[in-house]
Structure 1
Amino acid sequence: MAGKKVLIVYAHQEPRSFNGSLKKVAVDELGAQGCTVTVSDLYAMDFEPRATRKDITGAVSNPEFFSYGVEAYEACKKGALTSDIIDEQKKVQEADLVIFQFPLYWFSMPAILKGWMDRVLCQGFAFDIPGFYDSGFLKNKLALLSLTTGGTAEMYMKTGVSGDYRYFLWPLQHGALHFCGFKVLAPQISFAPEIASEEERKAMVASWAQRLKTIWEEEPIDCTPPWYFGQ
């Protein structure tokens, strides 16, 4: 949709990977719609995933005992976070939609992307107490997880060996994104592209491109326990 701004937070080491193809499709399709698309390519940026004392510029509030959450909160209020964090926060602040593109690692996201969330979505920027879930500071924004798996779709069913895929989405979509106020769209999951045929991979990419054509018409999921775990 013309005038909309999209941030793609991309976490894969190889530009020619299937994740890279999905990222490119999103850039091309959303750009064709007239959206302004920004990509944070975390590996290419050599993004620092560790949350440390170095994230705070200047003096900390308690030099005797370092608490990252407390110090990042105070630094955020004073504009005293490091420039790499502030730059990413500006991208989030400007975006109407944030897409996270990544391969599933141990039922979660790669460490570099987890570190992005730890450092960028800090208290004072993304939420406060009070000021979380439906009152989170990013409540006027959409978020979407686009991910690839090593296992097949059958493995991620309730009766599959890995259980329903919604189980592992709970901490990512609900505990992080919805906590910060994001309205979460249904995930885009590309199952087992490494063992899929070329036609199957092309179909996955085409499905993603087709979905993006009407992404602005989608309703967010009901980000409550029943969506993830049933009644």
Structure 2
Amino acid sequence: MNVLIVYAHPERRSLNGAINDFTVERLRANGHDVQVSDLYAMNWKAPLDANDVRERNADAPFHASRDSKHAFANGLQSRDIEMEQDKLRWADALILQFPMWWFSMPAIMKGWVERVYAYGFGYGVGEHSDTHWGDRYGEGMMAGKRAMIVVTTGGWESHYSARGINGPIDDILFPIQHGVLFYPGFDVLPPFVLYETHRMDDARLKATYDALGTRLDRLWDDTPIAYRKQNHGDYAIPQLVLRDELAAGTSGFGAHID
């Protein structure tokens, strides 16, 4: 299988760098082909702007979605965007690896998503009618592929528990897992989260490698998170609200998991 790792950490000699090296080695040892988009090493341009469109009328106001749609449809995207889209087409699985900074991914990775997920590629796909509201949330260009987050954080696991001060880790990662990954069609695996990264010794690092290695070995066997698909009857269309008889009495992120 083909695995794309999008990696965002500014220091290769960090714990994240070591985890990234281990991940690549383990996947290749299992017979998989691996590509790594090391965003800092690539000097990836984070902002989505008019420079992402070739042969653009510089006098016209920039409109993010319209310009993205035009560039994607007419082969006018900047080359770095096209190369990352080609990697996603090639990949059977995507791993996003990053340290949690301010409750989300680093800005450089958010910029990768904003630029690579072009209109017609990551969103704006499929018909919109009274029975089908675009190919998204379980459908789309990435349908049939798998995805997983590998994330590190300095906080304790208890800080991210159901009653922890930071909020439940599944809620914090929901916009990434359900939005960035499930939205364009990926089957999303439970995340691999490493807490208290400042308290790492040789024994804990070995335990981390053992646990992550097991997850990587089961990349195609583990059961994805059971997010509800948008166009399969669970949601009223076009309102896109969960039907009353489903998850009765439940609201928030949890209602969107079957």
- 2:19 aligns with 22
- 1:46 aligns with 43
- 1:143 aligns with 147
Q: Does 1:160 align with 2:156?
A: no
| Count of equivalent residues | 227
Q: Does 1:93 align with 2:97?
A: no
Identity %: 37
Distance 1:38 1:213 in 2: 17
2:184 to 148, 161, 180: 180
- 2:28 aligns with 31
**Equivalent AA in structure 2 for residue 191 of structure 1:** Y
More displaced stretch, 218-227 vs 191-200 = 218-227
Say whether the 8 Å CA contact 1:9–1:40 is kept in structure 2: yes
Distance 1:229 1:106 in 2: 20
As a proportion of its length, which structure holds more helix? 1
Cα pair distance change 1:19/1:166, threshold 3 Å: same
Distance 1:123 1:135 in 2: 15
Say whether the 8 Å CA contact 1:55–1:82 is kept in structure 2: yes
Greater RCO, 1 or 2 (C-alpha within 8 Å, sep 6+): 1
* Structure 1 alignment gaps of length 5 or more: none
Cα pair distance change 1:227/1:5, threshold 3 Å: farther
Following superposition, the deviation at residue 50 of structure 1 comes to 0.7
Distance 1:227 1:201 in 2: 38
- SS where residue 134 of structure 1 aligns? coil
Moved over 3 A (4+): 224-231
Which TM-score applies when normalising by structure 1? 0.92
Distance 1:6 1:227 in 2: 35
* Structure 2 alignment gaps of length 5 or more: 126-133, 229-246
- 2:195 aligns with 191
